[in-house]
Structure 1
Amino acid sequence: MKIRIGYELIYDCPQPTPMILTLSVHFTRASDIIIPDYLFTDPPVPITAYRDNYGNWCSRIVAPKGQIKLFTDALIRDNGKPDKVVQQAKQTPVENLPDDALLYLLGSRYCETDLLSEIAWQLFGKASDGWAKVEAICNFVNRHIAFGYQYARPTKTAWEAFQERTGVCRDYAHLAITFCRCMNIPARYCTGYLGDIGIPPPNSPMDFAGWFEAYLDGNWYTFDPRNNTPRIGRVLIARGRDAADVAISSTFGPNTLVSFKVSTDEVNEMRST
């Protein structure tokens, strides 16, 4: 399967504005890329790149005064399989976790483990360990939060999403991540492309998606409490503790996001007989 992915973001800046952009496909998918997702800008500006502390590929620019368009149009190969389900995956005791997984047990900007720990143990303390516990957490979050773009705000935390019972995909992920960490299961936030391959088209415009990965039995597995079903064609961009680590843009000056478009579509290939 081949998937065409891309974005077009237009910012209006009243003055030259430095930006950090996390928009590139994750290095773990490098071998799948057919047409690279190079970052283009209009007007053209110098671009430098670096790896952040989580291994994500980030770009640095200084947007000029006025409008700037950021865009890409890429093609990636995908195995066409849904997210892996491993019901027998067990929970790893904290004392046996690898050092690099321990960070994902701790509270972070949007995941307040201190506020939700007691609630988590009340809700999930009796659930079977391992995959079943993460599944129970996802089922609860999926039922607990009502989805709606009108409920989105950049400052909403897991605690607030739990209290308000509304949100978007990142809020579902933040709440599930927090519950997992409270139950001693490392969990990390993911952002990327997720189209409607294999399901009816959504009624809303395409957006970047947020989900999470939980560490079980020596592996990181994908979970998506917003959709709460295995999906096809997920293309990872970045991972981190929460959305603060994987923001598509971090801007250092006043600006307005004028336009935001994301696309991800399966490419239908003609076959000769």
Structure 2
Amino acid sequence: MLIRAGYDISFSADTATPMMAMLSVHPSRHQDLRTPHRITTVPDVALHDYIDAFGNICTRVSVPPGGLTLSCDFVIEDSGEPDIQSSDAIQHDIADLPHDVLVYLLGSRYCETDRMSETAWSLFGHVPPGWGRVEAIVAFTHDHVEFGYHHARPTKTAWDAHQEQQGVCRDFAHLAITLCRCMNIPARYCTGYLGDIGIPPVDAAMDFSAWFDVYLGGEWHTFDARHKHPRIGRILMARGRDATDTALTTVFGQTTLTRFEVHTDEVAAI
């Protein structure tokens, strides 16, 4: 299956303003690209890429006075299969976890394990560890939080989403991640493209999406508390402890977002 994806994102600025962006396809998907993946800018300015501590591609750029548009359009091949289900994947004892996985048990900016621990154990302490426990956390989060773009705010944490019972996809992911970590299940935040492929069309503007991975049975597995069911056509951009590590753009100054358009569609050929 081929997917055409990309974006046009514009900012206005009064003065030159440094920006860091995570708007590239994750290196783990580069072998699937069928057309070049290149970020273009209007006006034409210099872009500098580097790989961060989580293996994501970060792009440094300066928004010039007046503003900047970042654009990308590419085609990528996908298996066309829904998220893999591994119901027999075991939950590891902490002593058996790889060193680089331990960080995904810790609290982070948007995932306050200290505030959620008692709640998590009261809700899921009776559920046998492993795949079923993660499914129970996903089901709870999906049913507990009402989705709505008007519920979004950049400061909302997992605790806030749990208390307010409202949020967007990143809030669903943060809450589920936090509950998993409280139950000693390593969990990491993911962001990327997720089009309306394999489901009825959604009457809403396309956006980027957030989901999460958990470490069970010696590998990472994809879960999505916003949609609950396995989906087709995820295109990973970045992953980390939470949205702090995977922010689409981080601006070191004052800018205004003036345009935000994302496209993700299955195509027959290129």
Q: Same fold (TM over 0.5)?
A: yes
* Partner of residue 20, structure 2: 20
Q: Normalising to structure 2: TM-score of the pair?
A: 0.99
| In structure 1, C-alpha distance between the alignment counterparts of 2:37 and 2:267, rounded to whole Å | 16
| In structure 1, C-alpha distance between the alignment counterparts of 2:108 and 2:123, rounded to whole Å | 21
Summarize deviations over 1:36-70 as a string: whole Å, max 9, x none.
22110000001111000100001111110012110
| In structure 1, C-alpha distance between the alignment counterparts of 2:105 and 2:208, rounded to whole Å | 25
Summarize deviations over 1:85-138 as a string: whole Å, max 9, x none.
000000010010000000000000000000000000000001011000000000
Q: Does 1:38 align with 2:72?
A: no
* Partner of residue 264, structure 1: 264
- Amino acid corresponding to residue 83 of structure 2 in structure 1: D
The 5 A counterparts of 1:1-273 are 1-269=1-269
User: SS where residue 84 of structure 2 aligns?
Assistant: coil
Q: Retained in 2: the 8 A contact 1:6–1:37?
A: no
Structure 1 runs of 4+ off > 2 angstroms?
none
| In structure 1, C-alpha distance between the alignment counterparts of 2:122 and 2:267, rounded to whole Å | 46
Deviation at 1:269, TM superposition (A): 3.7
| In structure 2, C-alpha distance between the alignment counterparts of 1:63 and 1:41, rounded to whole Å | 10
- Amino acid corresponding to residue 194 of structure 1 in structure 2: L
User: SS where residue 247 of structure 1 aligns?
Assistant: coil
Gaps of 5+ in 1: none
Gaps of 5+ in 2: none
Deviation at 1:203, TM superposition (A): 1.1
| In structure 1, C-alpha distance between the alignment counterparts of 2:37 and 2:119, rounded to whole Å | 42
Deviation at 1:26, TM superposition (A): 0.5
| In structure 2, C-alpha distance between the alignment counterparts of 1:257 and 1:202, rounded to whole Å | 24
| In structure 2, C-alpha distance between the alignment counterparts of 1:230 and 1:36, rounded to whole Å | 28
- Amino acid corresponding to residue 54 of structure 1 in structure 2: F
User: SS where residue 5 of structure 2 aligns?
Assistant: strand
- Amino acid corresponding to residue 138 of structure 2 in structure 1: C
Q: Retained in 2: the 8 A contact 1:121–1:183?
A: yes
Summarize deviations over 1:238-263 as a string: whole Å, max 9, x none.
00000010001011110000010111
- Amino acid corresponding to residue 142 of structure 1 in structure 2: H
- Amino acid corresponding to residue 98 of structure 2 in structure 1: P
Deviation at 1:32, TM superposition (A): 0.2
Q: Identity rate of aligned residues, in percent? A: 55
- Amino acid corresponding to residue 53 of structure 1 in structure 2: A
Q: Normalising to structure 1: TM-score of the pair?
A: 0.98
Summarize deviations over 1:175-200 as a string: whole Å, max 9, x none.
00000000000000000000000101
User: SS where residue 67 of structure 2 aligns?
Assistant: strand
User: SS where residue 87 of structure 2 aligns?
Assistant: coil
Number of equivalences: 270
Deviation at 1:202, TM superposition (A): 1.0
- Amino acid corresponding to residue 244 of structure 2 in structure 1: A
- Amino acid corresponding to residue 102 of structure 1 in structure 2: L
- Amino acid corresponding to residue 94 of structure 2 in structure 1: V
User: SS where residue 50 of structure 1 aligns?
Assistant: strand
| In structure 1, C-alpha distance between the alignment counterparts of 2:37 and 2:123, rounded to whole Å | 42
User: SS where residue 35 of structure 1 aligns?
Assistant: coil
- Amino acid corresponding to residue 41 of structure 1 in structure 2: T
- Amino acid corresponding to residue 229 of structure 1 in structure 2: H
| In structure 1, C-alpha distance between the alignment counterparts of 2:203 and 2:22, rounded to whole Å | 26
